[in-house]
Chain A
Amino acid sequence: MAMHKTCDGAKRRDFLKVGALGFAGLSLSQYLNIAQAGGVKSTAKAKSAIFINLPGGPSHMDTFDMKPDAPAEYRGEFNPIDTNVPGIQICEHLPELAKVMDKFVILKGVSHTLAAHQLGSEYVNTGNRPLPSLEFPGYGAVISKERPTVPELPPFVSIPNTSQRPGYLGVQYAPLHTGSTPRAGQSYSVRGLDLRNGLTVSDIERRKNLRGDLDTAFSGFEQQNDLLKGLDRFSQQAYDMVTSPQARNAFDVSKESPEFSQMFGESPFGQSCLLATRLIDSGVRFVSVSTGGWDTHRDGWNNLKTRLLPPLDQGLAALFKGLEMKGLLEETAVLVTGEFGRTPKINNERVGRDHYPRAMFMLMAGGGISGGRVIGASDDKALGPLNEAITPDDVAASYYHALGINHEQEYHTSTGRPVMIVRDGHVINELFT
């Protein structure tokens, strides 16, 4: 991407002297430079981040923003319970999270206006209200760009996939999708990293040497050409990853101690949280975990209490505890969100709730955010923010802030348009006090 090209022409010339790869060469060499430079220093506490996405849009009123005194047509059938923080109550089907309330913050009265899944999802995954003319990069892409990691590891891993795309930042910031979730007690690896088809490390080494013997057509010209140089570099990196115990170990959740793993439970979501913890511990910068099914138009409460909330409760509570046990919670910013909340007024016909972006909840933890608090509020029927709304943009600004990334920093799209990382957000200072 033409990061150097600006709309006011200041640095456009950089763009026009691109190397042998033309358009692509610039970003490759730039990428190489960034990668070589290693991590970026900052005073922020978080070095890495975890993003838990709950696609479908979880009901705020039946989870973290309960209104037990609301009229029956709003209230919902669940009851609140106390947490380990006096004065904060959450849903009775989240008992494990109730025990670790001191580790995370509930944001209430988060509000926007996009009631369609895709648009809402783009909004909360990028911190920018979607535009038809521009695809914004997801958090993971921005963070991989701003916070490169060791070469053996992919900077951005999604379990099992994510709707976060690199957008205008370009494909080199795309995530590594695991495509599956680990199963309890079994060894685990991901696409392209594990040794399948019966290959061993010694096979890989033998092949690498053979390739070295045969890949000689461009000998002597590699240094003159970014493409050749880049391919060689990636080959080395891929070899490092495939053969390095560090990279393969990073994914293999079966290497965790049984006591530790058990906390997370056997659900795919719990196992994903376990993997996320492990990846962060290994040096991956950004992990997204996605667990769907929250679009509870029908039979909502039954679905929530049997199918949806128990694994979320166990997995997420274990994630907070696990990060803390490993000493990672302080340096890992965690954000949990769906794309919207659900209609406070119950849809009696279908026994569920429908899409509702005006009021929703999000959770944040780690990375200098002290837990055990509620920030923001919704009104008495959870119809909208009580006072000033928290916007997805504000949350994005804060999330980046925790990582020491200035959300007002400007990138340039391929068409030279300057765009701030978050165009319209303000850091929620209260989070960091």
Chain B
Amino acid sequence: MKSYLVILITGLSLPLTQLAELRGEVIPPINERFSQETEETPDFQRHLLPMFSKIGCNGRSCHGSFQGRGGFQLSLFGYDFKMDHDGLSERIDTDDPLESYALHKATNVEEHEGGERIKTGSWEYQVFLNWIEAGAKPVEKPFKLERLEVTPNEIVFQSAQDSQSLNVVAVWENGTREDVTPLCRFQSNDTSIAEVSENGEVTAQTAGDSHIVVFYDNGITAVPVIQPVSDRTGKNYPQVATPTRVDELVVEKLRKLGIVPSETSRDEDFLRRVTLDITGTLPTPQQVQDFLADKSTEKRSRKIDELLETPAYAAWWATRFNDITGNNINQLNNVSYNNNKVSEEWYEWVRHRFEQNMPYDKIVEGIVMAESQKSDETYEEYCKRMTEIFNDKSCESFADQDSLPYFWARRNFQKPEDRSIGFAYTFLGIRIQCAQCHKHPFDQWTQEDFVQFQPIFSRTRYSPNGTDRDEYQAMLDKIDVDGNLRGNDLRRELARKLGKGEVVPFPALVDQAPRVNRNNKNSKNSNNIGQTARVLGGEPFDLNDYQNPREPLMKWLRGDAQELFAKSFVNRVWANYFHRGIVEPTDDLSLANPPANEALLNHLAQGFIDHKFDIKWLHREICNSNTYQLSWQPNETNIQDDRNFSRAVPRRIHAEVAMDVIAQATSGSEENAVYLSDLKDRAIAIPGTAQGRGGNNYALTIFGKSSRENNCDCDRSSEPTLLQTLYLNNDSELLSEIDSRKGWLAELAKEWQAPFDAKTEQVDAKPKNYDEVVERFETYLEKLKKQKDFEKIKTVKAKMKSYKARYGQAEENTEVVDAKVDSNIDYTSAINTAYLRTLSRYPTQVELQRSLSAVESADNPVDGMRDIMWALLNTKEFIINH
């Protein structure tokens, strides 16, 4: 009704439009309305700009370029109404519309590098002309698009070349409905599945599923397109077990696609997969045997429960959460007095919470609402507390704190824009960085959204001088610190004092108080104090209404953004259990990148919310599904499927897990048995990154441990590379693990009373001074013997031995070994164990025979077993989770 009045008053509308609006009907498409001369005045936002977008004016290679083109710049992907209008106004002539420069350019009457974009006399021409004739009005107050209604909202094709046209109706907040099909841009997310013309006609290509994405104004809607891959759809679909809701939702889609899921995985495959996924650890040989022997029907769900209670679970998932929150030593300078300690405290804080299964929103609250100095303590009391925490090596007292202020202290998380991007990445799984400079091309966010989001982050800073500069200085004076010390020198001095147990002033997270001088709150100026803010997609509010500027953020995560907040986490957890997320990439939950299975994502997100963000509920919901437990072996309907979870798609195990399982597989029996509970030396429990101050961990780096640098889940990589293969094949680190004296191979040698020296054929040419060096070693040893320094003797002997070994002169075997190994030993059990340790299964008959012959043909059975361990660690089956 309101819009009707506006139209009547302004009197600018045409009967056709007017009538339709009056009747609450859909306004017919613009190409019909403007196919001949008409009195209608098109609207800059609703008609002109979408039309320019559609014909490509504001693309990146044209006037959307930040340098403009031919001196004319439009906002990239539109949506900066003022800039676009200003630029255009200079190039039109409202007195003599037909002589407008821009019109001549677009029609190539005036030579146009972009060629003829608009034909003279076309409806586009008419739209442009009518707008100029009516005075080229700018956007006074932007219309708010409520939604795009696309018909049909899903396309199911039967065969290639079938086609279907899309119709799009824009529904505006004021109730106006207009058929905007000719003004929309259409895009196929996979042109091998379906093509789409610029008029919205979709044509089926090969079988499979994807989406057609429709763009208009800031609206983006994705329409699923499906073409079955087999005739086994609908009624022809076989009976498939769907024991859980997850399975029902997965199979519901598979049924449309004619894809039949794989069989359920074998017990040994399931056990290996679930142990790797939940705990980043391999099952022990004993665990495999027990699991295979267990006849109970609940053994899988019991195993899942059991694994979720292990220390390795909390350690591994804390590491993953540290990835997305960005625990990176290189970014933690000046946060405290020991960067490594900060990183450890951060990690432990998270690990404790995963161990206690604290609800996800509570964990996040501890980060978002983090505080350093508590409201009921003085700065000095805070420093006292921090001093105690600093001196607690276990980091437990830090983990017991309610909050994690370090998240806010990262060097790359200081500017409001960096925080806006990082916050959205970490907690919502969206990429708003595009909107920093222009309208987001794949999401609804405009530059204005971004600009108004930023101020929320501007009042919070991590202050090196604590919460109060004077008190900080007073404390420095009190402990007698040289007033000339600055920067690192000062930090070192304070660290030294801390070591001596003195209380030193600590940096702190500080929130600037709201501006107090607000007498003229209602005057025009109140907006100019820079505190008007808006969460993404929300309504503007005054940040000064909040004592803690971060409060609206947490309120938002639990309010309007809750669904996205839940989805982003659910999706990342899902991706850990499969080869991809339901949305992939996992940190790109944008409108143009719809989930492969929307109902599934909604179910998990809603369930997660309903279960009060119970993380273990989520793990159970996924792991107990038949979908998770499917075999990797494909059938003819699902062999091409890589987005609908109809089989387990093999994936390379994560960097930390790879390092751990190599160590575990080769370790001595006692050590091997406690991998799930003993976190010492485990790569899955490293607090920081592979490249931290502690140095550069080669293996973790090349296997792609997250660098935690770039607000991107792709900081972690599971791609295989040549360097990884070289490492597994031939790196001395790996070879030494097989050959470790504390390892399993050494145990075998002992048991078999067989010689156990790494083979010692000449590798390196003997240096000229070889004899001299050996002599020096010997003289030194003599001297040590006289001094009775037995510790030193041991190390020097070892050094000499390795020197000799390197140049081909092995020490005579010092261990008492009968050169002849008992020929009656049955190697089968050792081979079985080797398989259980690496591949978590027994060998097949063929594999057993091949392995036996390798052992038997070796000079020494231990050498044979060494070859077998090497070979097993180098199978694809080992490094792949399947």
Question: When chains A and B are docked, how far (Å) is the Cα of A194 from the Cα of B867?
Answer: 18
The listed residue with most A CB atoms (<10 A of its CB), out of B593, B650, B847, is B650
With a cutoff of 8 Å between Cβ atoms, the chain A residues found around residue B882 in the complex are 217-218
Q: Is A307 an interface residue (CB 8 A)?
A: no
Question: When chains A and B are docked, how far (Å) is the Cα of A213 from the Cα of B871?
Answer: 9
* Distance of A3 from chain B, by nearest CB (Å): 12
Answer whether A192 and B727 are a contact pair too, CB < 8 Å, given A16-B189, A228-B876. Answer: yes
Which of B33-41, B226-234, B495-503, B707-715 sits within the interface? B707-715
Question: When chains A and B are docked, how far (Å) is the Cα of A70 from the Cα of B721?
Answer: 54
Answer whether A1 and B714 are a contact pair too, CB < 8 Å, given A198-B758, A210-B854. Answer: yes
Question: When chains A and B are docked, how far (Å) is the Cα of A417 from the Cα of B192?
Answer: 24
The listed residue with most A CB atoms (<10 A of its CB), out of B593, B696, B872, B875, is B875
Q: Is B191 an interface residue (CB 8 A)?
A: yes
B726 pairs with A238, CB closer than 8 A: yes
Residue-wise interface mask of A (215-254) relative to B, using a CB-CB cutoff of 8 A (1 in contact, 0 not): 1111001001101101110110111011000000000001
Question: When chains A and B are docked, how far (Å) is the Cα of A27 from the Cα of B721?
Answer: 11
A415 pairs with B431, CB closer than 8 A: yes
A415 pairs with B736, CB closer than 8 A: no
Q: Is B724 an interface residue (CB 8 A)?
A: yes
Which of A38-46, A131-139, A350-358, A388-396 sits within the interface? A131-139
A193 pairs with B877, CB closer than 8 A: no
Residue in chain B with minimal CB distance to A189:
B764
* Distance of B435 from chain A, by nearest CB (Å): 11
Q: Is B526 an interface residue (CB 8 A)?
A: no
Selected from B593, B633, B732, B874, the residue in CB contact (under 8 A) with A197 is B732
Residue-wise interface mask of B (175-211) relative to A, using a CB-CB cutoff of 8 A (1 in contact, 0 not): 0000000000001111111000000000000000010
With a cutoff of 8 Å between Cβ atoms, the chain B residues found around residue A217 in the complex are 839, 875-877, 882
With a cutoff of 8 Å between Cβ atoms, the chain A residues found around residue B24 in the complex are none
A7 pairs with B441, CB closer than 8 A: yes
Question: When chains A and B are docked, how far (Å) is the Cα of A193 from the Cα of B593?
Answer: 43
Q: Is A258 an interface residue (CB 8 A)?
A: no
Q: Is B521 an interface residue (CB 8 A)?
A: no
Q: Is B879 an interface residue (CB 8 A)?
A: yes
Q: Is B340 an interface residue (CB 8 A)?
A: no
Q: Is A211 an interface residue (CB 8 A)?
A: yes
Answer whether A237 and B714 are a contact pair too, CB < 8 Å, given A7-B60, A132-B418, A196-B735. Answer: no
A237 pairs with B870, CB closer than 8 A: no
With a cutoff of 8 Å between Cβ atoms, the chain B residues found around residue A239 in the complex are 729
Residue in chain A with minimal CB distance to B331:
A132
A132 pairs with B412, CB closer than 8 A: yes
With a cutoff of 8 Å between Cβ atoms, the chain A residues found around residue B710 in the complex are 133-135, 168, 414
Question: When chains A and B are docked, how far (Å) is the Cα of A237 from the Cα of B191?
Answer: 34
With a cutoff of 8 Å between Cβ atoms, the chain A residues found around residue B77 in the complex are 8
With a cutoff of 8 Å between Cβ atoms, the chain B residues found around residue A13 in the complex are 187-191
B722 pairs with A170, CB closer than 8 A: no
The listed residue with most A CB atoms (<10 A of its CB), out of B61, B696, B722, B725, is B722
Answer whether A203 and B759 are a contact pair too, CB < 8 Å, given A234-B720, A239-B729. Answer: yes
A20 pairs with B579, CB closer than 8 A: yes
Answer whether A213 and B190 are a contact pair too, CB < 8 Å, given A196-B732, A227-B652, A415-B433. Answer: no
Number of B residues near A (Cβ < 8 Å) is 94
Residue-wise interface mask of B (687-728) relative to A, using a CB-CB cutoff of 8 A (1 in contact, 0 not): 000000000101001101001011110100111111111110
Residue in chain B with minimal CB distance to A241:
B726
B725 pairs with A234, CB closer than 8 A: yes
A172 pairs with B877, CB closer than 8 A: no
Q: Is A298 an interface residue (CB 8 A)?
A: no
With a cutoff of 8 Å between Cβ atoms, the chain A residues found around residue B723 in the complex are 154, 174, 176, 192
Q: Is B730 an interface residue (CB 8 A)?
A: yes
Residue-wise interface mask of A (254-273) relative to B, using a CB-CB cutoff of 8 A (1 in contact, 0 not): 10000000000000000000
A133 pairs with B60, CB closer than 8 A: no
Chain B contacts with A in 752-770, Cβ cutoff 8 A: 758-761, 763-765, 767-768
A414 pairs with B712, CB closer than 8 A: yes
Interface residues of chain A, those whose CB is within 8 Å of chain B, are 1-2, 7-9, 12-13, 16-24, 27-28, 132-135, 154, 161, 168, 170-172, 174, 176-177, 179, 185-187, 191-200, 203-204, 206-207, 210-211, 213-218, 221, 224-225, 227-228, 230-232, 234-235, 237-239, 241-242, 254, 414-418
Extra contacts, 19 of them, besides A13-B189, A232-B876 (Cβ < 8 A), are: A2-B585, A8-B60, A18-B584, A22-B584, A23-B584, A28-B719, A133-B433, A185-B768, A192-B727, A192-B729, A199-B730, A200-B761, A210-B867, A211-B871, A218-B882, A225-B650, A238-B722, A414-B585, A417-B433
Show 20 residue pairs from A and B whose CB-CB distance is below 8 angstroms, ordered by the A residue. Answer: A8-B60, A8-B64, A9-B441, A21-B579, A24-B718, A161-B696, A171-B717, A172-B721, A177-B698, A191-B731, A196-B730, A197-B736, A204-B730, A207-B874, A213-B847, A214-B868, A218-B876, A224-B639, A227-B651, A414-B710
